[in-house]
């Protein structure tokens, strides 16, 4: 029988019936046998079904041995789900368990363990790596070893360099001072070498170097894995792809599934261009597009496609939705981000009171900072939630810890430790030995330092000024106190100097301080705000662990949303400067397309209802609707209702004006607008479609 696996008759019937559930394109992909194949699988098109059924088809129809098949995904959870789905197919046999399902890292580790003797106990996990890097920064004498943001930037730069196979001598760091990065990198490499350690990035590079330097090992791997299937191919990076090319050669039985429109990890080194160029790299590749979307209603998919079609570097594709038309995405104008959170809370509460469940909802935002308003609002409203990004970076950031230290010192909570934290923020040039010698002394900490004999007049004056400022803060509202700390005391200027010295984008710190201000506005008393922060810090990690997979609202960034789906989705903060994150003409074409893909991913998480919120103000400053809103065909019907008599508008050609009248004619809306020198009657839909008018 040539080693062919024989299935019982009833299982063959089961399998044929199961294949009949597939659509034409899915079936074509499942039946692909040899050679390279690219499957373009948009959101909700059934890519997991295709991969699992193709594995089974290879075994049953083409006599491929299970242990010759390698299925690679990007996360452990995805690999586990893929294997579970495969095992549940009605014609599964125990022998099929020899199919290798795994992540890139797990597969590469198996190779390194088998041929180079790598052991798990020598692996630096992400937490260990973080503390090693932190220790190196401190040893090198840099003063930012406590700054989580800087440490994460260095780690990200390292990963990006590895994933793109860049050389340290030629590499230019983009998020941290280049000289600082290279000095830390070189010390980290020394640490790993002398301590016989490796990290997850090393797995990739070491595996690549092993295979290109040892043909015997490479041929052994090629013989082991004759058929390769890769999920989420749009997220592959250079080193991962080069390893896969090496293993697949010369038969090139490489079957890849992905969606270039969902490539959102370029900052990690993912290269969507590899998927775009796949048919050029393999000129015999079969290309199949899965056209049927089984997740979302037509209105949502049509709107999402009208957005993403503005990207140029992509495969052209059209989807057919299985579900009915549904409702157009609802564009909701609100005053600010605080009101946005309150309105979303109320919509969730109303739905649950009518018999719905919390788990139907997801709130998706561009940056982690935006989650602060929702964590506050959900906590106050007792809405169960799970934060997929963990603690909002506002609440676990050292900036907030500094601000809280000022507030605590002012009202006498843990005063000594609080003062130690902020005594040189901004720099008052108080030497460390002076601080340490006064830690255990009786009496007021600042008074003891002020009378220290070695201090000069400037240092002594700065201590008295700090003491006076803390007395003033004691009688202020929380919001006013924080503004006082930022401005009069000079904390904001200190932060700007810090950001400049470390080559960090000061926008990140400005937004953090503004979020801290916003979070404090609901608490007049300083003590109440400190207690609020304590409750949040205690509850968020608990909520993540306890509420996951239960009846809770999901709160996440656009990056975390990928691969998930929900009945109802709220997209938060659809304004320029948030999404896209970079405003106006400062953004490059590639950055703009990255941001558009993020928005597309967020939109396509919704199955039935999609709300897009557009605040008018952020941190008491006017903001404007995201350009992505204007690229969605369905937005007009909802957004034009935001224009009212008396609103101020800006016209690209006529300048600022005031709406004096709105008249509905058939399907059109006609505005009467009074400009400085003239009054005009204008077609609102034409103005909006051509991006000529904005509310101010």
pLDDT tens per residue across span 577-614: 999 988 767 788 989 999 999 999 999 999 999 999 99
CATH topology of domain 643-695: Thrombin, subunit H (2.40.10)
The token duo for 212 is 């290109």
Confidence (pLDDT) at 514: 95
- Least Cα distance to 624 among 634, 614, 632, 633 occurs for 614
Confidence (pLDDT) at 642: 72
For 141-180, how does the pLDDT look when each residue is reduced to its tens digit (9 = 90+)?
988 888 888 898 899 999 999 999 999 999 999 888 899 9
Q: What is the mean pLDDT of residues 656-661?
A: 92
41 is in an annotated binding site: yes
- Least Cα distance to 153 among 190, 128, 135, 180 occurs for 180
289 is in an annotated binding site: no
Residues of the chain with CATH 2.40.10.170: 643-695
Confidence (pLDDT) at 15: 54
46 is in an annotated binding site: yes
672 is in an annotated binding site: no
Confidence (pLDDT) at 2: 44
141 is in an annotated binding site: no
Q: How far is CA 105 from CA 33, 109, 112, 156, 349, in A?
A: 26, 6, 10, 17, 42
The token duo for 195 is 């301590």
- Least Cα distance to 683 among 634, 643, 628 occurs for 643
Give the lowest-confidence range in 176-185, 364-373, 664-673. 664-673
Higher confidence at residue 504 or residue 574?
Answer: 574
- Residue with structure tokens 């597009």? 289
Residues of the chain with CATH 3.40.50.300: 6-116+212-294
Confidence (pLDDT) at 667: 66
Planar angle of CA 17, 83, 199, nearest 5 degrees: 155
Q: Is the peptide bond before 695 cis (omega within 30 degrees of 0)?
A: no
Higher confidence at residue 655 or residue 637?
Answer: 655
The token duo for 578 is 């948030």
604 is in an annotated binding site: no
Confidence (pLDDT) at 545: 55
Higher confidence at residue 220 or residue 505?
Answer: 220
Q: Are strands 606-618 and 566-571 parallel, antiparallel or unpaired?
A: parallel
CATH 1.10.10 fits 124-197, yes or no: yes
Cα-Cα-Cα-Cα dihedral sign, residues 80, 81, 84, 86: negative
481 and 526 in contact (C-beta within 8 Å)? yes
Residues of the chain with CATH 1.10.10: 124-197
Confidence (pLDDT) at 546: 56
Provide the 3-class DSSP secondary structure of residue 583. Answer: coil
> Using CA atoms, how far apart are residues 432 and 435, in angstroms rounded to an integer?
5
42 is in an annotated binding site: yes
Residue 190 pLDDT exceeds 70: yes
Q: How much helix, strand and coil, in percent to the nearest 5, is found in the chain?
A: 55, 15, 30
Q: Is the peptide bond before 250 cis (omega within 30 degrees of 0)?
A: yes
H or E, element range at 665: strand 655-665
Q: Looking at mean pLDDT, say which of 86-95, 228-237, 329-338, 394-403 comes out highest.
A: 228-237
Confidence (pLDDT) at 126: 92
Q: How far is CA 500 from CA 150, 504, 636, in A?
A: 12, 6, 42
180 and 158 in contact (C-beta within 8 Å)? no
Confidence (pLDDT) at 549: 61
Residue 3 pLDDT exceeds 50: no
Provide the 3-class DSSP secondary structure of residue 231. Answer: coil
- Least Cα distance to 494 among 582, 443, 584, 428 occurs for 428
Give the lowest-confidence range in 332-346, 365-379, 663-677. 663-677
- 398-530: what CATH class? mainly alpha
Residue 541 pLDDT exceeds 80: no
Q: What is the mean pLDDT of residues 629-651?
A: 76
Confidence (pLDDT) at 366: 96
Q: What is the mean pLDDT of residues 320-345?
A: 91
| Contacts with 168 (C-beta within 8 Å, 6 or more apart), sequence order | 161, 182, 185, 186
Residue 476 pLDDT exceeds 70: yes
- 6-116+212-294: what CATH class? alpha beta
Other beta carbons less than 10 A from residue 123's beta carbon: 17
- What is the residue-averaged pLDDT of the chain? 90
For residue 38, the cross-strand partners are: 256, 287
Confidence (pLDDT) at 146: 80
Q: What are phi and psi of 65, to 5 degrees?
A: -70, 140
Residue 48 pLDDT exceeds 60: yes
490 is in an annotated binding site: no
The DSSP call for residue 277 is T
Provide the 3-class DSSP secondary structure of residue 690. Answer: coil
- Least Cα distance to 409 among 444, 443, 455, 450 occurs for 444
Higher confidence at residue 401 or residue 3?
Answer: 401
Confidence (pLDDT) at 10: 45
């Amino acid at each position: 029988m040539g080693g062919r696996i024989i299935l019982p008759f009833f299982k063959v019937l089961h399998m044929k019936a199961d294949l009949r559930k597939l659509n034409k394109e899915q079936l074509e992909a499942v039946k692909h046998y040899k050679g390279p194949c690219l499957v373009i699988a948009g959101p909700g098109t059934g890519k997991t079904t295709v991969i699992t059924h193709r594995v089974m088809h290879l075994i049953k129809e083409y006599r491929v041995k299970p242990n010759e098949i390698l299925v690679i995904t990007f996360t452990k959870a995805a690999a586990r789900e893929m294997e579970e789905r495969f095992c549940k197919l009605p014609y599964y046999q125990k022998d099929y368990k020899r199919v290798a399902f795994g992540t890139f890292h797990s597969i590469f580790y198996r190779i390194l363990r088998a041929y180079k003797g790598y052991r798990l106990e020598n692996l630096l996990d992400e937490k260990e790596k973080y503390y090693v890097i932190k220790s190196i920064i401190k040893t090198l004498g840099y003063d930012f070893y406590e700054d989580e943001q800087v440490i994460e930037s260095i780690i990200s730069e390292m990963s990006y360099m590895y994933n793109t196979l860049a050389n340290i001598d030629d590499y230019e760091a983009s998020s941290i001072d280049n000289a600082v990065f290279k000095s830390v990198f070189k010390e980290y490499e020394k640490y790993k070498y002398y301590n016989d350690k490796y990290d997850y990035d090393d797995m990739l590079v070491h595996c690549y170097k092993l295979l290109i330097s040892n043909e015997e090992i490479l041929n052994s791997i090629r013989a082991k894995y004759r058929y390769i299937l890769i999920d989420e191919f749009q997220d592959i990076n250079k080193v991962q792809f080069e390893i896969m090319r090496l293993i697949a050669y010369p038969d090139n039985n490489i079957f890849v599934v992905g969606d270039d429109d969902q490539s959102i990890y370029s900052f990690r080194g993912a290269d969507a261009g590899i998927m775009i160029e796949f048919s050029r790299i393999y000129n015999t590749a079969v290309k199949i597009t899965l056209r049927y979307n089984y997740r979302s209603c037509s209105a949502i998919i049509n709107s999402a496609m009208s957005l993403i079609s503005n990207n140029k570097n992509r495969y052209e594709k059209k989807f057919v939705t299985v579900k009915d038309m549904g409702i157009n995405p609802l564009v909701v104008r609100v005053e600010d981000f605080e009101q946005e959170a309150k309105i979303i809370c109320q919509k969730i509460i109303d739905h649950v009171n009518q018999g719905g469940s919390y788990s139907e909802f997801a709130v998706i935002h561009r940056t982690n900072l935006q989650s602060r308003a929702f964590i506050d609002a959900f906590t106050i409203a007792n809405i169960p939630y799970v934060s997929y990004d963990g603690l909002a970076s506002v609440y676990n950031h050292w900036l907030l810890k500094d601000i809280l230290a000022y507030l605590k010192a002012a009202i006498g909570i843990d005063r000594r430790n609080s003062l130690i934290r902020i005594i040189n923020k901004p720099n008052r040039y108080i030497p460390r030995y002076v601080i340490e010698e006064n830690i255990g002394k009786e009496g007021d900490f600042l008074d003891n330092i002020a009378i220290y004999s070695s201090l000069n007049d400037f240092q002594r004056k700065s201590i008295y000024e700090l003491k006076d400022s803390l007395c003033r803060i004691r009688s202020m509202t929380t919001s006013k106190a924080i503004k006082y700390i930022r401005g009069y005391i000079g904390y904001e200027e200190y932060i700007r100097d810090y950001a400049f010295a470390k080559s960090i984008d000061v926008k990140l710190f400005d937004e953090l301080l503004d979020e801290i201000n916003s979070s404090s506005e609901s608490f007049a008393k300083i003590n109440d705000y400190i207690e609020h922060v304590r409750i949040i810090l205690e509850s968020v990690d608990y909520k993540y662990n306890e509420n996951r997979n239960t009846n809770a609202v999901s709160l996440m960034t656009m990056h975390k949303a990928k691969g998930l789906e929900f009945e109802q989705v709220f997209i938060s903060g659809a304004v320029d400067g948030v999404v896209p994150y970079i405003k106006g003409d400062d953004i490059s074409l590639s950055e703009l397309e990255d941001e558009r893909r993020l928005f597309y991913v967020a939109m396509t998480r919704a199955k039935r209802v999609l709300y897009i919120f557009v605040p008018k103000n952020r941190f008491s400053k006017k903001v404007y609707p995201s350009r992505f809103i204007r690229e969605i065909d369905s937005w007009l019907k909802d957004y034009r209702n935001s224009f009212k008599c008396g609103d101020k508008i800006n016209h690209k050609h006529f300048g600022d004006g005031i709406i004096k009248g709105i008249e509905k004619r058939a399907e059109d809306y006609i505005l009467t607008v009074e400009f400085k020198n003239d009054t005009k009657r204008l077609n609102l839909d034409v103005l909006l479609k051509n991006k000529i008018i904005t509310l101010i």
